[in-house]
Amino acid sequence: MLDLTKIAVDAMGGDGSPKKIIDGIVHSHKLNKKNFFKIFGNKIKIDSLIKDKLSKDFYEIIHTDNVVKSTDSPLEAAKRGKDTSMWLAIESVKKKETDIVISAGNTGALLVIAKLNLKMIENIDKPALSALWPNKKGMSVVLDLGANIECSSKNLVDFSIMGASLYKSLYPNETPNTALLNIGSEEFKGNEIIKETFHVLNEKKTNNFNFSGYIEGNELMDGNVNVIVSDGFTGNVALKTAEGTANFITDELKKVFKDSILGKLSAILNFSNLNRFKKRLDPRLYNGAIFIGLDSPVVKSHGGTDFIGFSNSLEVCSRIVKGNLINKIRENI
């Protein structure tokens, strides 16, 4: 167990829990046997789902009946007590019993409880919510996605450093290109905060990333930039727009191929190409938002994903720990 990555898992958060969570753990273990899971939730339910599917050398169950509800406000979730599965999972990282924590539960509650339990990394004022997005050449890290509606230029500079550190922890052999999401590529475009951030980053000397200036919304998927930085309001709108566009395209293609005999025949003839397209847009492959800036990493799995999506977010957890994300941020900040 000493050389295993220890992941604290809130087993009671999200739709279809704890079954989805446990199925995700079992599936993840089949692909990567270098993780140990400290699972928080109802022991009777969890034990019946995991028994005979995973060796006890790779997991431990910590029982609690109390859970954070999806309908709880962040304040209600915090008041629910320190014995909820979410709180206990985060507390285990605080106590250094585990390396990283993951939950598919209430996002607002997770952020608030994490901030109540964990300290900020020195010299960082605000944590950020980041995620992986597909692009034409691979993957991008995008932040902030909603944790901070208003940001100063210092916050955006910090997000650039944290985002680049996250990218390098996931892809250690690459140096990312980092850019600020803006309404134009010219230096005079944007508000005063983003223009000030541009000048700070343009003059900053670092081996952590290459600063590529501004990026517009229609260039997000080109793959020329690996770390995309914005305030939480702009980032969240961009995220939801991208998700909605992907769903629209997928749904419209389904209609085209189902509405007529010719469409069905085309679908059969192009089955392999359509399958590749479907996999490329499959949100389960990119599941797992990362709350960074705290002294321990916190991962938020989408509440509506299935066990495959949760399994993928567990792999993100493993790669973050192996890539020494927190140390990379401390070194570069």
Interval 35-49: pLDDT, tens: 999 999 999 999 999
Total count of domains within the chain? 2
The verdict on 139 and 254 lying in the same domain is: yes
The verdict on 115 and 188 lying in the same domain is: no
Q: What pLDDT was estimated at residue 267?
A: 64
Q: What is the pTM of this model?
A: 0.87
The verdict on 136 and 99 lying in the same domain is: no
The verdict on 143 and 81 lying in the same domain is: no
Range of the domain at 186: 124-291
The verdict on 187 and 272 lying in the same domain is: yes
- Judging by beta carbons within 10 Å of its beta carbon (0-12, 13-18, 19+), is residue 53 exposed, middle or buried? middle
Q: What pLDDT was estimated at residue 5?
A: 95
- Residue 287 DSSP label: -
Q: What pLDDT was estimated at residue 285?
A: 75
The CATH number given to whatever domain includes residue 313 is 3.40.718.10
**Stretches in the chain below the pLDDT threshold 50:** none
Q: What pLDDT was estimated at residue 259?
A: 76
Cβ–Cβ under 8 Å, residues 283 and 309: yes
The verdict on 299 and 283 lying in the same domain is: no
Q: What pLDDT was estimated at residue 278?
A: 64
The verdict on 62 and 184 lying in the same domain is: no
Q: What pLDDT was estimated at residue 315?
A: 93
The verdict on 282 and 172 lying in the same domain is: yes
Cβ–Cβ under 8 Å, residues 119 and 135: no
